[in-house]
């Protein structure tokens, strides 16, 4: 079923919308959730919550790209579940690994902590990503939005893991400079 | 700014940026998807099944043992011994089953066959869950048989309507010299037919190795095409692997068999 038709089902409050979403995007969303949670049952819970969020948010939302819309919900829900489950104990997952890597983009601890508006920050990151060559952009989004493992991200860009690692390092350094220039880091 | 704020912001980047990568990922998903998900899932199912069937078997053994002691008093009769002999005799008969073009004649070179994966995924599933993953039937005018499974990577819906997946990988076809399903034929064409398949496959690749490659992991495979659902056998003995993709939302299967074609 086409995405438009699935969105129309949500708008008609037809419950088959969830079944169609599950059929088309079930394993796609589970993969994203699993990258963050490293646990199949938690991932299933996250994906089910995604369907619920989608049901509650359409209407009023009418996403133009349903897969991206759902991926964002799954990512957010999974991160929330992860934070809830791991307040005391941090377990290894692509999410924690990517968090550690992203330290490069943050201040070194000597600067004033600044509360950033997430939307403005997202816009700044988007504009930085647009300035990158396609390969670097794809690698970065694969690693830090989809939370793919380094191996998977490298395979997606048809490059070795070591090359991907150094390219990601340079991209993170570039992002740090960009965020500093935009005033998000002092 | 904290790590978590940065991660949250990354989750809100522009849709078109995500979509372009998303498309790439979906194209390569079937080949790059991490195996650990599937191994984790399979491990859990197997553990669950072992506990379930183990406790059931223990209970039955206990009941049978108590019943046996109660009624017979522990003595073994001549009739019991005879039944035991019949049992072993039946097992030998089962192990001597072959698949050949000539079903009634056991050829000199024939080797006992298996007709399924080393571990059938159906056996490891919770009760009530059935997976209609496709099977491959291979036939010509002389014979018909089901090819062995090699890899199974299949999505299905469970009894509660949840999308689940299963994966199974048997030992490599080249390591199955004594166990791979075997065909000896005088006809060059084999017809491939999929059962329980959700429509036509999106892609079929036929890999093959010369029989001199048995147990040689470094051997490179060659490929051939499928035309009108048929493959053209090469003269001599070859190991064939049929890799079939039904799309990223359905799965990929691979089947294997050995065929020795010698024209009349």
A115/B37 CB distance under 8 A: no
* Residue A27, both tokens: 């394993």
Here the contacts of A10-19 (C-beta below 8 Å, separation 24 or greater) are A10/A54, A10/A55, A10/A58, A10/A59, A11/A58, A11/A59, A11/A62, A17/A54, A17/A55, A17/A58, A18/A51, A18/A54, A18/A55, A19/B161
| pLDDT (average), residues A75-85 | 85
For residue B149, what are the contacts with CB-CB under 8 A and spacing of at least 6?
A: B116, B117, B168, B170, B253, B254, B255, B256
Reported as a single tens digit per residue, the pLDDT across B45-61 is: 677 778 878 888 888 88
Residues in chain A within 8 Å Cβ distance of B250: none
Record: contact B12-A122, CB cut-off 8 A: yes
- For chain B, the first-to-last Cα distance in angstroms comes to 79
Give the number of other Cβ atoms within 10 Å of residue B197's Cβ.
17
- Best of B2, B4, B16, B17 to substitute, by most chain A Cβ atoms within 10 angstroms, is B17
Which of these ranges, B64-73, B107-116, B133-142, B177-186, has the smallest mean pLDDT? B107-116
Contact B13 A122 (CB under 8 A): yes
Q: What is the dihedral of CA A32, A37, A40, A43, to 10 degrees?
A: -60
- Report how far Cα A186 is from the mean position of its chain's Cα atoms: 26
Asked if the C-beta of A107 comes within 8 angstroms of chain B's C-beta atoms, the answer is: yes
Q: Which of B4, B16, B25 is the mutation pick for testing A, counting most A CBs within 10 A?
A: B25
**Worst-scoring range by mean pLDDT, A2-11, A53-62, A82-91, B1-10?**
A82-91
In order of A40, A116, A123, B127, the CA distances from A119 in angstroms are 30, 9, 6, 48
Chain A residues touching residue B11 (CB < 8 angstroms)? 72, 75-76, 79, 122, 145
pLDDT for A140: 92
Minimal Cα–Cα distance from A30 to chain B, Å? Answer: 9
The per-residue pLDDT for range A99-152, each reduced to its tens digit, is 767 766 665 544 444 444 778 888 889 999 999 898 999 999 999 888 888 888
Q: Which of A66-80, A100-114, B21-35, B247-261 has the highest mean pLDDT?
A: A66-80
Tokens of A9: 């089902």
Averaged pLDDT, A18-40: 85
Give residue ranges of B with CB < 8 Å to any A CB.
1-22, 24-26, 28-29, 32-34, 37, 40-41, 44, 155, 161-163, 165, 248-249
Mean pLDDT of chain A: 82
Residue B239 has pLDDT above 90, yes or no: yes
Token pair 């943050």 is found at: A106
pLDDT, position B158: 66
List the alpha helices (DSSP H) in chain B.
3-10, 15-32, 35-71, 78-95
Domains of chain A: 3-85 (1.10.1740.10), 96-181 (1.10.10.10)
More confident residue, A56 or B74: A56
Can you tell me the mean pLDDT for B88-106? 34
SS3 label, residue B135: strand
User: B137 φ, ψ to 5°?
Assistant: -105, 130
Residue B88 has pLDDT above 60, yes or no: no
SS3 A112: coil
**Cβ contact (<8 Å) for B25 and A65?**
no
User: What is the residue extent of each domain of chain B?
Assistant: 35-94, 97-261
Per-residue pLDDT averaged across B140-144, rounded?
A: 87
Cβ B8 vs Cβ A115: under 8 Å: no
- Rounded to whole angstroms, the Cα distance separating A93 from A36 reads 6
For chain A, what is the radius of gyration of the CA atoms?
Answer: 18
CA B1 to chain A, closest CA, distance in angstroms equals 5
Residue with the larger pLDDT of the pair B24 and A10? A10
Q: Could you report the predicted ipTM of this complex, rounded to two decimals?
A: 0.75
3-state secondary structure B51-101: HHHHHHHHHHHHHHHHHHHHHCCCCCCHHHHHHHHHHHHHHHHHHCCCCCC
Nearest Cβ partner for A65 among B19, B28, B33: B19
Residue A57 vs residues A53, A119, B18, B145: alpha-carbon distances, Å? 6, 19, 20, 52
Hey, which bits of A93-159 come out as E strands?
none
Beta-carbon separation of A184 and B24 below 8 A = no
For chain B, give the mean pLDDT. 72
pLDDT-based confidence at residue B73 (cuts at 50, 70, 90): low
pLDDT number for residue B238: 94
Size of interface A-B (CB pairs under 8 A): 139
User: Do the chains contact at A34 and B37, CB–CB below 8 Å?
Assistant: yes
């Amino acid at each position: 079923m086409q995405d438009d038709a699935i969105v129309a089902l949500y708008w008609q409050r037809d419950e088959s919308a969830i079944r169609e979403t599950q059929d088309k995007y079930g394993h796609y969303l589970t993969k994203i959730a699993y990258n963050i949670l490293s646990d199949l049952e938690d991932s299933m819970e996250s994906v089910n919550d995604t369907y619920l969020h989608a049901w509650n948010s359409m209407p009023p939302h009418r996403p133009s790209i349903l897969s991206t819309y759902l991926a964002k919900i799954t990512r957010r829900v999974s991160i929330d579940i992860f934070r809830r489950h791991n307040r005391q104990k941090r377990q290894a997952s692509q999410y924690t690994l990517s968090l550690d890597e992203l330290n490069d983009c943050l201040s070194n601890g000597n600067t004033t902590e600044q509360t950033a508006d997430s939307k403005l920050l997202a816009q700044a990151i988007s504009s930085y990503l647009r300035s990158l060559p396609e390969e670097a952009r794809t690698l970065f989004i694969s690693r830090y939005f989809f939370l793919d493992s380094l191996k998977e991200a490298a395979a997606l860009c048809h490059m070795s893991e070591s090359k991907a690692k150094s390219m990601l390092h340079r991209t993170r350094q570039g992002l740090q400079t960009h965020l500093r220039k935009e005033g998000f880091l002092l | 700014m904290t790590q978590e704020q940065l991660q949250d912001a990354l989750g809100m980047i522009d849709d078109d940026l995500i979509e372009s990568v998303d498309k790439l990922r979906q194209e390569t998903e079937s080949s790059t998807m991490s195996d650990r998900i599937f191994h984790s899932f399979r491990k859990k199912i197997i553990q669950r099944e072992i506990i379930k069937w183990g406790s059931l078997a223990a209970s039955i053994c206990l009941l049978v043992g108590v019943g046996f002691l109660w009624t017979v008093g522990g003595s073994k009769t001549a009739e019991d011994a005879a039944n035991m002999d019949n049992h072993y005799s039946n097992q030998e008969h089962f192990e001597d089953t072959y698949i050949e073009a000539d079903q009634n004649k056991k050829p000199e070179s024939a080797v006992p066959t298996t007709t399924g994966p080393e571990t059938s995924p159906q056996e490891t599933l919770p009760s009530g869950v059935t997976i209609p993953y496709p099977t491959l039937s291979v036939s010509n005018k002389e014979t018909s048989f089901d090819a062995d499974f090699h890899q199974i990577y299949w999505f299905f819906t469970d009894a509660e309507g949840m999308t689940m997946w299963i994966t199974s990988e048997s030992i490599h076809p080249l390591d199955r010299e004594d166990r791979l399903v075997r065909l000896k034929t005088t006809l060059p064409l084999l017809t491939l037919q999929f059962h329980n398949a959700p429509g036509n496959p999106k892609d079929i690749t036929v890999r093959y190795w010369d029989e001199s490659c048995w147990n040689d992991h470094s051997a490179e495979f060659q490929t051939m095409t499928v035309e009108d659902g048929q493959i053209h056998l090469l003269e001599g003995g070859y190991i064939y692997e049929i890799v079939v993709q039904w799309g990223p939302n359905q799965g990929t299967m691979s089947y294997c068999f050995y065929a020795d074609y010698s024209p009349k």
